[in-house]
Homo-oligomer: A and B are copies of this chain.
Amino acid sequence: MDSTKRVYLFTEDAEPIAAAVEAGGKELKDLLGGKGSNLMLMTNAGIPVPSGFTITTNTCIDFLDNDAQMPAGLDTEVAAAVAALEAQTDKKFGDVDNPLLLSVRSGAKFSMPGMMDTVLNLGLNDEVVVGLAKLANDERFAYDAYRRFIMMFGDVVKGAERELFEECFAEVKEEEGVSEDTEVSAEGLKKVVELEKKVYQDAVGEPFPTEPYEQLMQSIDAVFSSWGNDRAIAYRTINRIDHDLGTAVNVQTMVFGNLGDDSGTGVAFTRDPATGAKELYGEFLFNAQGEDVVAGTRTPLPISDLYESMPEVYDQFVAICDKLEAFYRNMEDVEFTIEQGKLWMLQTRDGKRTAQAAITIACALVDEGLRTEEEAVMLVEPDQLDQLLHAQFDAAAKPEAVANGVDASPGAASGKVVFSSAHAVEAAEAGEKVLLVRHETSPEDIRGMAAAQGILTSTGGKTSHAAVVGRQMGKPCVVGCGDVSIDYAGSKCSIGDLDICEGDWVSIDGSTGEVMLGEVETAPSDIIQVLTGDKAPEDAPLYGLFAKLMGWADDVRALGVLTNADTPEDAQMAVKLGAKGIGLTRTEHMFFGEDRLLNFQKMIVAEDEEQRQVAADALLPYQREDFYGILKAMDGFPVIIRLLDPPLHEFLPKDEAGQQQIADETGRTLEDIQEMVVRLHELNPMLGHRGCRLGITWPLVPAMQARAIFEAACALKKEGLNPIPEVMIPLVGTKGETSILTKIILDQAEAVMAEQGVEVEFKVGTMIEVPRAALVADQIAEFAQFFSFGTNDLTQMGFGFSRDDAEGKFIPAYIEQRVFEANPFQVLDEEGMGQLVAMACEKGRAARPDIELGICGEHGGDPTSVDFCHRVGLDYVSCSPLRVPIARLAAAQAQVKTPR
């Protein structure tokens, strides 16, 4: 491509830029920006696009490098391009009799907020508007175009306040005693123009420019300058977009859909964006502008109606849509205008679509030979798959929400309200559907949460206990719903004036955060019903497409996908959804069963080591049973089991009654128990005596857990199965902790295997979640056979804020003020935490080349974070069962983007 050429025409007559098009538009986009290259490509494909030209991004850079002076010769090139447009359209820029009007738009390589927007109807002035009125035979139309132009030019090009111009219009409307814009007379519009010109003079300090070339060059100047404004710079810095790219300027001839009944405008999708069906889907209005379609004041007609009025135009439009699909190899979202019987395409872009449509279209494009399987994998947003897996309400049956909280765990749930986990369990055992409503949940609520259809909390954010466990369990969950005021003592809650008593039906939509009164019917999604055997695959056509796409993803991806699961049931569902093992089994929930909790409490409050060991021994059979179940369910797959993580005080009741009960059951005094509660109290539990720190001071706990794991594994081995336990030490920060805990585990492994007389394949490794662990990962890898990044805690400690405290209190402000582009608990902070992950990978592999590296934080199910995990070289990601397909697809896309 000619590197000194600054202006590129796109007109039917212009020579096609064949080389650039052949090069796949890559170089073109750098030079002409996204919009410019698209207009160029459509024009070259023979699609009718209003003629125009693009000024290159290089010109913008030259402009900015040269103290905002237009590069020498640019004016000549622009003039020549305008002349070419004049010749091609048979109109003349600034001509009174047959005026050429232009639009000016910015167009960088990447779409970017902060850049100058659109100026339409450029070329109008007091004389030209008269000619336009004559030409269109419509004075109202011409002056309406003119007053819009002055406003856009003043606002967009000169930075005058848009409101000032709108007030002119309002003033005239009041004068004429009308309420609708369309009711203002032509005379009124002329008056608006005069008022606007005054406003312009006052705000800008100079008269409105009447010379069309001056209007054009000032607009070009404004586009170039907007590349260097603060907001644009900040956006690029945050998004790491090169400041030297520059923006292109697109100048295009105006076409009008409001020039009579043979004119019109509309939008369409080339396929159904809801279902993906291969049928044109769109709507249009006769004698209207784009704004009218958007404003919704008139009801648009279905696109098929166009066939009846203008069959040739319709056929041409269908042909163009087919051409666009063939060219972009995708479902397109197009805008078009018909000006006095002539069809113009104004824009095309890949169309947004539902998950169902995305999968249907991706598979169809492969069948149609337009896309390879690898390309098809790129056409579905991984996060969208969520829609296909969670139970949902029937939209038609859904009542209005009475309150809104945070959409923490997707899906729909209805149930009778209960305010305690105990009641949830009781009612569920009695066959009731219940919805658990709490201020917040804690590990003590696990059984209640499991028993409930869904969880609603009045506090907490997307990573609160309720949210995390809700997603983990696949339970719909709405959190932080501050409108819900709970009165535990009265067994009721209120939302505003509305009282809700225990037993009343309430529904929540975890995909939207809505809280509704009454029962709303829900059903598992088709795909889940097929997986659970409740529906035949042939009755769920989407299942087949889903399975096909996931198969392609699996063929492509380099990253393994495991699941986080604490029960055999979760694990089995995850396997059906494609997980190849368990990346995180948490063991703390296992201690909350009735007998277990008491024994655990006995262990905590024991008077001496002997009593303590007795209590620990009593827990052994329960733990063995837990591990037996989960290892059996995951036969042949690795199961990473994390040793006890939370601090001990979570296992003791805070209330005196509960403490008295333990005292009674352990034969100790209430004072003893209370003293223990005080001793275990922590000012900052997140930073407390937990994880491997417990293992150092209470070695009998990890010893008991390790013994249970290996006894379970040996038993399975004897039954001919192939258990693969991997024991994971939590919260490691030092080599010393790793070596001490590893020894405890290895001693048990050796002892149990000797007792049982069988050998079991196993590994011992660590979480990497404490920042220091990443810094000394080489030392830790001397003992650890695998690392699993616990990016939830890593983020908390690395940023120095607790998610429960931060999400409610300041993360929203941080996002609003653009300190964060995304919540770092949802999308892994690659810039900061990513450095620690990369460092730990490098040091870990240096010390132990075959070390297994994975992630088990919630980021393992976030597509952006999965992409990072792929690039940083992890072996796998692990996520909650329902996010397994998302991770599989995201992993495939990561491999396509960055092959490894």
Contacts and interface: CB of A to CB of B under 8 A. Distances in A.
A693 B770 CA distance: 22
B809 A689 contact: yes
Contacts of A772: 798-800, 829, 832-833
A835 interface: yes
List the number of copies, as a whole number: 2
Contacts of A793: 800
A584 interface: no
A497 interface: no
A733 B832 contact: yes
Contacts of A802: 682-684, 687-688
A817 B736 contact: yes
A314 interface: no
Given A684-B805, A802-B684, A835 B775 contact: yes
Contacts of A809: 688-689, 693, 697
Given A736-B819, A740-B819, A804-B683, A697 B797 contact: no
A813 interface: yes
Contacts of A696: 810, 813-814, 817, 819
A684 B829 CA distance: 21
Interface string A767-795: 00111100110000000000000000100
A815 to B, nearest CB: 10
Interface in A659-700: 682-689, 693, 696-697
Nearest to A647: B805
A836 interface: yes
Interface in A800-842: 800-802, 804-806, 809-810, 813-814, 817-820, 829, 831-833, 835-836
A731 interface: yes
B737 A819 contact: yes
Nearest to A682: B805
A722 interface: no
10 contacts: A683-B805, A685-B805, A688-B801, A693-B806, A696-B813, A697-B810, A734-B820, A736-B820, A770-B798, A770-B799
Contacts of A829: 772
Nearest to A440: B683
Interface string A597-627: 0000000000000000000000000000000
Contacts of A683: 685-686, 802, 804-805
A381 to B, nearest CB: 27
Contacts of A740: 817, 819
A836 to B, nearest CB: 7
The winner among A771, A802, A804, A820 for most chain B CB atoms within 10 A is A771
Contact of A687 (B684, B731, B737, B775): B684
A234 to B, nearest CB: 9
Interface of A: 238, 682-689, 693, 696-697, 731, 733-734, 736-737, 740, 769-772, 775-776, 793, 796-802, 804-806, 809-810, 813-814, 817-820, 829, 831-833, 835-836
B684 A804 contact: yes
Contacts of A805: 682-685, 687-689
Contacts of A770: 798-800
Contacts of A775: 798, 831-832, 835-836
A771 to B, nearest CB: 4
A804 B772 CA distance: 19
A832 B732 CA distance: 13
A859 to B, nearest CB: 16
A242 B265 CA distance: 81
A733 B832 CA distance: 9
Nearest to A772: B832
A798 B771 contact: yes
A687 B689 contact: no
A687 B687 contact: yes
A684 B238 CA distance: 29
A550 B783 CA distance: 47
A799 B737 CA distance: 12
Contact of A800 (B238, B733, B804, B820): B733
Given A689-B809, A772-B833, A797-B797, 19 more contacts: A682-B805, A684-B686, A685-B805, A688-B801, A693-B801, A696-B810, A696-B813, A696-B819, A733-B800, A736-B814, A736-B819, A737-B819, A740-B819, A771-B797, A771-B799, A772-B798, A772-B829, A775-B835, A797-B800
B819 A800 contact: no
Contacts of A776: 831-832
Contacts of A813: 696-697
Contacts of A810: 689, 693, 696-697
A818 B799 CA distance: 29
Nearest to A680: B809
A820 B831 CA distance: 30
